[in-house]
Amino acid sequence: MHWQVFLWLLSLRVLITAPISKKTPAKRFSKEFAEGASYAISTRHIRFIILFVAGLTLVGVSYMVVLPVFAADVFDGGAVIFGYMTSAVGIGSLIGAVFVGTKRNALGLDKLILLGTVLFAFGLAIFSFSTILWISLLALVTTGLGRVIVFTGSNTLLQTISPDEKRGRVLSFYIMLFMGSLSLGSFLIGLVSDWVGAPLTVFFGSIGVLLLAIYYAKSLPLLRKRTYRAIKKSELIWERN
C-alpha cells in the first residue's frame, strides 16, 4: 500500500543521512526493543504522537477495506470502479508526499499533522454519503492527501525529536503499533459494516477522526513547546557532527 512505501522511504532516508555514532556492545533484540518502547512511553510528546497515529489508524485508515463494497453496492460497478477509487487515493497520497517533502525542516510539522487530520476526516465524511462517482473520487483524493500528511509528518517529526541512540527503537515501536492498529481496525470495520452497512461505518470513522483532530488541536500548544525544544536540540547535535 501507499503508506508502507512512504514509511519505508522515510526510514531509509534517516538511515542514510543520520550521523554515524560510535559502536556499542551488541545487545539482545528484546532488551533493545523494550528500552526503546519504555523511552517512547515515558517521553510525553513522543508518546502522544505515537498513540495519536495509532488511534487515527484504528478508527479511520481501514476504510480501504470496504472500498469494494462501495464500488459494488453504491455505484453498481466492479473492478473498474474499484480501480478508480484506489487510484484516487494514490493520487492524493502522492500529492501529500510531495507537499510534506518540500519542507526543509521539521518546524511546523505539528500544524500540518492537524491539517491532514481535518482533511482526512472531511474526506471520509463526504465519501461515506456520496452517491456521485466524481464527488466520491475527489473525496478519496482528499483522504489520501490527509492521511499521508499525517503519517509522513508524524514519522519525520518522530525521527527528528528522538535521540540518535534510540531513534531506531522508537520507530520500531511506532511501526509495531501502527501495523497492529491497522490490522485491528480492518477487523472492526468489517465487523461493523456487517451490522450497519459500509457507508455508515465509514461515517462513524470520520467522526472518530474528527474527535481526534479536536483533541490534537487542544494539545497542540504543549506538544509544540516540547517538540520545538527537541528539534532545536537535534539541530545542534547535527551541526556538531
pTM greater than 0.75: yes
Q: Residue 5: is it exposed, middle or buried by C-beta count within 10 angstroms (0-12/13-18/19+)?
A: exposed
- Helix, strand or coil, per DSSP, at residue 18: coil
CB atoms within 10 A of CB 204: 17
Instruction: Express each pLDDT in 33-87 by its tens digit.
Output: 777 777 778 778 888 889 999 999 999 888 888 999 999 988 888 889 999 999 9
SS3 at position 24: coil
pLDDT at 240 over 50: no
d(CA 183, CA 229): 34
pLDDT band at 233 (very low <50, low <70, confident <90, very high): low
Q: What is the pLDDT of residues 89-145, one digit of tens each?
A: 999 999 998 988 887 766 778 889 999 999 999 999 999 999 999 999 999 999 999
- The residue ranges of every structural domain in the chain are 41-240
**Residue 43 to residue 3: CA distance in whole angstroms:** 25
What is the spatial distance between Cα 5 and Cα 17, in angstroms, rounded to a whole number? 18
**pLDDT winner (highest mean) among 150-154, 156-160, 166-170:** 150-154
Distance CA 162, CA 102 (A): 22
Residue 230, CB-side half-sphere exposure with 13 Å CA sphere: 21
Mean pLDDT to the nearest integer, 152-162: 84
- Confidence band of 234 (pLDDT split at 50, 70, 90): low
Mean pLDDT value across residues 150-170: 83
Note the pLDDT tens digit of each residue in 172-216. 888 888 899 998 999 999 899 889 999 999 999 999 999 999 999
Instruction: List the one residue out of 35, 18, 26, 135 whose CA is nearest residue 88.
Output: 135
- CA atoms of 60 and 126, how far apart (whole Å): 13
pLDDT for 220 beyond 50: yes
Backbone CA torsion sign across 198, 65, 5, 235: positive
Angle at 114 between CA 108 and CA 120, to 5 degrees: 135
Q: How far apart are CA 77 and CA 151, in angstroms?
A: 31
Given pLDDT bands bounded at 50, 70 and 90, which one contains residue 16? very low
Structural element, H or E, at residue 109? helix 109-129
CB atoms within 10 A of CB 108: 12
How many CB atoms are located within 10 Å of the residue 28 CB?
Answer: 8
- Would you tell me the crossing angle of helices 133-161 and 44-59 to the nearest 10 degrees? 160
Fold classification of 41-240 is Growth Hormone; Chain: A; (1.20.1250)
